[in-house]
Structure 1
């Protein structure tokens, strides 16, 4: 997935100071930047990344293999297994795993730059940094257009990461301010959209009322009525369109590729505008949390316990309300939601997911510290260390399972049955990742990414007791 980070932080460091960053105390005699040693990795970061990597599949799986109109049926049957599955997954995890990914991506940017020596000749640390992100953008294009996963985030992470570099020396407090600015920008954009929807809805109701009274609505009211009716029409399922979609997804590679071109090209253009504030806010927050020692597992146990209680205590009630109002009620009657709430309930999205994401991370770190289920912690850490490979592997497995050039299961499984596929992939990656890392320094895609970043093939195989390991650095 995003960066598989490592650190040169001393064992007692709780913050990253500007003096720790490139350009402060490095001369021309230093070795050029390279991936760091396995012993210097922050295991807690790999552990949390492993959780996020597995958890994000719970949200992605619906886009891999479920037809959108199916949600309309689910919300109308609240006693069904599908509804219970949807309620649990969306309340506890929607947006939270991607929030953790974004936070760790921001933290990974700091770790990549920390203690990288500058040299008088050759590429600078900034060159390596931007080269790395440009390759990530291309990997995102590969994931979307070759692996045919329209929900790719590598493309967006690569672009957003390019904006982080000027803020690398900011103190954690200012990074939180930047996160709040991005959240505020996202709120403003969404509020403008919701206000426009409220105006169209009000104009529609006024126009209908006048027409029933055999009076002529104003031009403004008629325009609002037309806009609202268009929204309702586009919002409702189109059986013909969905039948065409199912047929295309169950077809050969060329047909699936052609059908996804408009989707992918559209999402990678408007998605930069609509999604960047979302991702940047969590990246800035992740940079701040690393600076405070949260992700490096350096805070007192009481701090993680308090964060868990606050994150879950506030996050779960907000998330349940969010699920009911912004999903269940919205799908059943969007007009009623707009009539009821002057402020879009979706505005709770960033707050609830940040709270739950920190709650999830705190719970995992508390389990890690307790020494319970060490085998699971080891496997999760390996999954996180190979997160980039495992993320692309999920695309490969799921597109082959659901698309017609593979097994063709698109639209065939009930919603809750999708999570049997998720469980199978989890087990596979939890088993294979630690086994792979017993023999190799990197996952295959990590190796390729690092080799391209440093423009030099990285040693891949581990040679026991003959050479130092330089596994999975930044």
Structure 2
């Protein structure tokens, strides 16, 4: 069994820095669902403002962060599954036992997180997707990449088909002489793309209430996500992106084995092709005045560009690591990435106390643009606390708990005075 010193020696500052960047960036979108009614995450006209600074906040995030940070975070999870399995070879427990124990406890922690802190939890999705990908970790890079792309392409096709079906349901319901069944079918289906304003008001009342009120509001959203969105969308997307992440790791993308020219090519594809295409789709959404069916259909097409923009972001960080530039920032990002699990959960704890009624009670009171102040505060916290923490402890607090549960034994936690932190911190 490898100890903390061995694990730290095997770390890649490049992976840690990209993961730290992703855990910061994912909050730019999560904050919307944390402080505003859930559907505001999709449609800015639902809550949070859709004009002036709020519109620009939506637009910039739609192009540069919406789905891109989650895609990057998910690809890194796939990369980590391979890396951790490699480290577990020849040890006890072995790679398979280590992986599936990790997924079990990740599922447990994710369920607690979803119902008590943040309904948009990604950990349950990762745990379930992680059950699928592990047997394929040793496939060739070509097969892993092909499988990932094929799954993501199939998901895009399914989503576009569903968008077409919604359009057909609406047309049937609005046609002269529409039958009661056609009208009812559209009314039920439309809740997926245009929920009632009453639902948003109920969410605001719940989150501004006491602990149990907020719990009930959060549980309703988490249950809907887990029963309806997760099986058909979130888990397949995560599996596809994890396959891509495994392939990228094994090809050396995350460990600086690509040439600088290759990283620059990825930046060009992401920023010069994918980002303008996404901006054009965002412009089309705005021109359609955020009409629900147009919004749904055009955002489906953004699934194509999201991973490419996410990888362009990663390539910038990787080139910074290679060049040695901005070393202070890279070191802090790497520390944040080493504690990504703790920082992800701490973000939810902080925002719950900021927005819920048993905390500061700001739920539904800040606009989309104003929420960025909360994001900035959390970013400062993450960048400030992660490095000093790792100077004293081997792991982040939740990483330590997860690792100890997996091994069913408390792991070394506090550093001895003679033990320096790993270079990645």
TM-score calculated relative to the size of structure 1: 0.82
Segments of 5+ residues of structure 1 without an aligned counterpart are 1-31, 209-215
- Determine helix, strand or coil for the equivalent of 1:412: coil
Query: Does the 8 Å contact 1:33/1:125 carry over to 2?
Result: no
Report the aligned-residue RMSD. Answer: 2.5
* Displacement of 1:314: 1.1
The alignment status of 1:109 with 2:62, answered yes or no, reads no
CA positional deviation for 1:168: 1.1
Question: Contact 1:75–1:328 (CA<8 Å) still a contact in 2?
Answer: no
Q: Which moved more, 1:191-200 or 1:148-157?
A: 191-200
Aligned partner of 2:256 in structure 1 is 297
Q: How does 1:135-174 map to 2 (within 5 A)?
A: 135-146=105-116, 148-174=117-143
SS at structure 2 position matched to 1:367: helix
Q: Name the residue aligned to 2:290.
A: 332
Structure 2: gaps (5+ residues): none
- The offset of 1:75, in angstroms, is 10
Q: Tell me the distance in 2 between the aligned counterparts of 1:73 and 1:249.
A: 17
Distance, in Å, in 2 between the alignment partners of 1:230 and 1:139 is: 33
Q: CA deviation at 1:233?
A: 6.8
Contact in 1 for aligned 2:76/2:242 (Cα 8 Å): yes
Equivalent-residue separation in structure 2 for 1:73 and 1:269 (angstroms): 23
Matches within 5 A, 1:73-222: 78=51, 80-118=52-90, 123-146=93-116, 148-205=117-174, 207-208=175-176, 216=177, 219=179
1:144-188 deviations in Å (ceiling 9; x for gaps): 123x21010111101110111110110110001111221132123
Q: 2:390 aligns with which of 437, 440, 444?
A: 437
Secondary structure, aligned partner of 1:126: helix
Distance 1:331 1:257, change over 3 A: farther
Tell me if 1:392 matches 2:345: yes
Aligned to 2:354, which of 401, 409, 433?
401
Do residues 227 (structure 1) and 185 (structure 2) align? yes
Contact 2:193 2:292 in 1 (8 A): no
From the superposition, tell whether residues 373 and 253 of structure 1 become closer, same or farther in structure 2 (CA, over 3 Å): same
Partner residue, 1:72: 45
Task: Give the distance between the partners of 2:378 and 2:235, measured in 1 at CA.
Answer: 29
Runs of 4+ in 1 over 4 A off after TM superposition: 73-78, 229-237, 467-472
Post-superposition offset of 1:284: 0.4
What is the count of residue pairs matched by the alignment?
Answer: 419
Quick check: 1:414 aligned with 2:367? yes
Greater shift after overlay, 176-185 or 429-438?
A: 176-185
The whole-number CA distance in structure 2 between the counterparts of 1:55 and 1:33 is 32
Q: What are the residue-to-residue correspondences of 1:268-347 with 2, within 5 Å?
A: 268-270=226-228, 271-325=230-284, 327-328=285-286, 332-334=290-292, 337=294, 344-347=297-300
Structure 2 SS opposite 1:264: helix
Structure 2: how far apart are the matches of 1:181 and 1:112? Answer: 25
- CA deviations on 1:400-435 (whole Å, 9 max, x unpaired) are 100001110001112101001000110111011001
Q: Report deviation, 1:346.
A: 3.3
- Contact 1:74 1:83 (C-alpha < 8 Å) held by counterparts: no
**1:438: Cα distance to partner?**
0.9
Say which of 206, 209, 215 aligns to 1:257.
215
| Residues 1:464 and 1:92: Cα distance change in structure 2 (over 3 Å) | same
Of 15, 33, 56, which aligns to 1:63? Answer: 33
* CA gap 1:280/1:244 in 2 versus in 1, 3 angstroms: same
